Structure 1
Amino acid sequence: MQVTLDNPAGAPQPASPYYSQVARVEHADGSALLFVSGQIAEGTTLAEQTRGIFEGLDALLRAHGATPADIINIRTYLTDISRLAEYGAVRREYLTGTPPTSMTFEVPRLFRAEARIEIEVVAAVAGRESL
């Protein structure tokens, strides 16, 4: 097993130098788990921020040979849980297959004061034996 920490070029960069965007845990068969740090995005509405986050997640995953379809776990942090349905509608635009395991939390605030949502994911990348 090999662990690689990465901030892929062309994908969202971390908000500070104290963490990496992706931890790739690779197994001998070439399969890997991708642990993606919590993401926030610009926008004035929850829907805009959610779309921005999923676009950023897409770029981070693609840099490691994955897509949103490979997400197996998602954790969502909302500053207003009453907006869950609004978030869910946008989420379904990006996660169209079998839903991943999921946890959603209401939090009083996030890393940036204007952020209404933060999302972190784990994705599974198939190995050589799976191709």
Structure 2
Amino acid sequence: MSAPVLEGITARTVTTENLSTRVLFSGPDDGIPVLFIHGNFSSATWWEETMLQLPPQYRGIAADQRGYGGADPSVKIDATRGMQDFVDDSLALMDHLGHERFHLVGVSLGGLVVWWAMAGAPERLLSVTLAGPGSPFGFGGTRDAAGT
């Protein structure tokens, strides 16, 4: 059973080449896309109230990330890839929904995903917003890619 959603939010399962997961939507289908990425120990539900505050020309989109909420539990995270599984899942979702470029918002773990998306797919991003992100080097390092 899926979690109930607030009025003005719709939820559906979306299946891409990477992942089948619960995705929340707000705003018009043809609105300017804003993808929200939740933090650790969370789900797309975390973003519902924020999505409802978007100006009317925006389409809010928030997916349960791999390993969380309504994401297919059989699809595992490959920790050797850092945040890349999450980035790949997010890009595959936006491709599936027909959004070449979009605004990207992330909090906590979602902020790490945004850092990695900025580095790996900047041409896809209209803007980025980070709220309390972790280190761009991931969970291990704080100063450099070597993990120191």
Return the TM-score normalized by structure 1: 0.50
More strand by share: 1
Return the TM-score normalized by structure 2: 0.45
